[in-house]
Structure 1
Amino acid sequence: MLPGKAVYRIDEIDRRIAPPKCANLEAFLPDGSQLVGKTSVGVRCTPPPRKDEADGRQARTNGWSIFVPVQIRFNLDLLTSARQLPPGHTLHEQDLASQATETSRMEGFTDPRQVVGKVLRYGIAAGQVLREDMLRQPYSVTQRQVVTLALQGNGFSIRTEGVALNNASEGQTVQIRVGSGRVISGVARAGGVVEITP
């Protein structure tokens, strides 16, 4: 759930739906629904059991349920770019500003710690709200970089060099060409190290 103040509007229910009065209403969230944007909230009537006059046993009266259309928006301060920023720029706190925004979508950031250190995939204008699709993790390995291959097994450890064939952030797969010309795959780690699994 996004932080901030929620603003909601209950839309009109179909006039053809006219459930009987109920003293015991219960709201619920239908499967697959989210409490943001255009959604629906279920309302069910669960009347208490009544006593069967014939034999004194408890019998439950029929309940009902309906779905009420609702629009939910949030008022919150989203992070924006403080100035025009180029593609490939690594974000720092001084690059950030905040903007009071009313939104109905689960996107955007409210805490600088969520974005500082990440890299812009493309350039953005000043005042643009930052979104997840704009950012990536910094590369641990870059294309054509000479990297250290680290291979560890039961009782042995081997380190050698190779050339990265693609960019990769930490934890991503990277293709490496070794001295023999063979291409192998490994996992990018910090410091230009590529971990090879035996």
Structure 2
Amino acid sequence: MNAIFLTALLLTTPLALAQQSAAARAGTQDLTALRTVVQQYLQAQSAGMAGKASVEVRAIDPRTSLPACPDPQAFQQPGARTMGNTTVGVRCTAPAAWTVYIQAKVSVQGDYVAAAVPLAQGQPIEQSQLVLMKGDLAAMPNGVVTDMAQAIGRSSTVSLPSGAPLRLDALRSKPVVQQGQLVRVVSSGEGFRVSAEARAIGNASEGQVVQVRTPAGAIISGVAKAGGLVEVVF
């Protein structure tokens, strides 16, 4: 009888231990589910990007123990970059409040615009001077140009070597008003509209503020418009 009891005890002990382990884990958050939450969040954030995005969520420290959460929510800090190496927070509000931060990497394979030949600072850019290249946009500088139309006719604020990617913040539109140019100033307000000639003091692209000097010597600020116009609104 004792031998039979001992044999039964030995056979049931692993099962009992497994049941106890499962019971201990009950009520503990599944870490794999949190990685899935981050994966889905980053996929949604990168859905509108130019190119094909792929998301890699880093492993979570297996020693991490959190109370189970029925609805964990992913978020990022204001200003956090979605592409490249990034951090996503996952929070729970009930039944227990907790927050965990998970590392991830978002790669975006797509086209970007680069200089086909060296580009001189301040010179208008032509289509023949540009080339489309493929690469990970997440590894490119912020604001990399992805459409040639964004660069043609504009000029670079710095000289660029052949193969260098173009950035939107380093491109300047062709001036519609140039220093020394005789322009027409149009002043308007409630119930009136007056135009007069003046001379531009500086260069300005369309939509930029420029100062002009009237024949009487007065200096006026207005918004540059195509066709050598400067608009002043009162």
Alignment TM-score, normalising by the size of structure 2 = 0.67
Give the whole-Å Cα distance in 1 for the aligned partners of 2:121 and 2:97.
58
Q: Please state if 1:29 is matched with 2:75.
A: yes
- The answer to whether the Cα contact below 8 Å between 2:122 and 2:157 also exists between their aligned partners in 1 is yes
Give the whole-Å Cα distance in 2 for the aligned partners of 1:156 and 1:30.
50
Alignment TM-score, normalising by the size of structure 1 = 0.77
- The answer to whether the Cα contact below 8 Å between 1:77 and 1:98 also exists between their aligned partners in 2 is yes
Residue in 2 that maps onto 1:151: 187
- The answer to whether the Cα contact below 8 Å between 2:89 and 2:102 also exists between their aligned partners in 1 is yes
Residue in 2 that maps onto 1:110: 146
> Comparing both structures, which one devotes a greater share of its residues to strand?
1
Give the whole-Å Cα distance in 2 for the aligned partners of 1:62 and 1:181.
71
Q: How many equivalent pairs are there?
A: 184
Unaligned runs of at least 5 residues, structure 1: 47-59
1:94 shift after superposition: 2.1
Give the whole-Å Cα distance in 1 for the aligned partners of 2:89 and 2:65.
15
Deviations along 1:63-94, whole A, 9 cap, x unmatched? 75532111222221211112112222222322
Residue in 2 that maps onto 1:39: 86
1:136 shift after superposition: 1.3
Unaligned runs of at least 5 residues, structure 2: 1-45
User: What are the within-5 Å matches in structure 2 for residues 67-146 of structure 1?
Assistant: 67-104=101-138, 106-146=142-182
SS of 1:109's equivalent? coil
> Comparing both structures, which one devotes a greater share of its residues to helix?
2
Give the whole-Å Cα distance in 1 for the aligned partners of 2:202 and 2:123.
19
- The answer to whether the Cα contact below 8 Å between 1:27 and 1:41 also exists between their aligned partners in 2 is no
User: What are the within-5 Å matches in structure 2 for residues 42-53 of structure 1?
Assistant: 42-43=89-90
- The answer to whether the Cα contact below 8 Å between 2:69 and 2:95 also exists between their aligned partners in 1 is no
Q: Cα RMSD (Å) of the superposition? A: 2.7
SS of 1:127's equivalent? coil
Give the whole-Å Cα distance in 2 for the aligned partners of 1:156 and 1:106.
45
- The answer to whether the Cα contact below 8 Å between 1:173 and 1:185 also exists between their aligned partners in 2 is yes
Residue 57 of structure 2 aligns with an amino acid whose one-letter code is: I
- The answer to whether the Cα contact below 8 Å between 2:176 and 2:204 also exists between their aligned partners in 1 is yes
State percent identity of aligned pairs: 33
Deviations along 1:26-45, whole A, 9 cap, x unmatched? 55233434431222234467
- The answer to whether the Cα contact below 8 Å between 1:29 and 1:41 also exists between their aligned partners in 2 is yes
SS of 1:113's equivalent? helix
Larger radius of gyration: 2
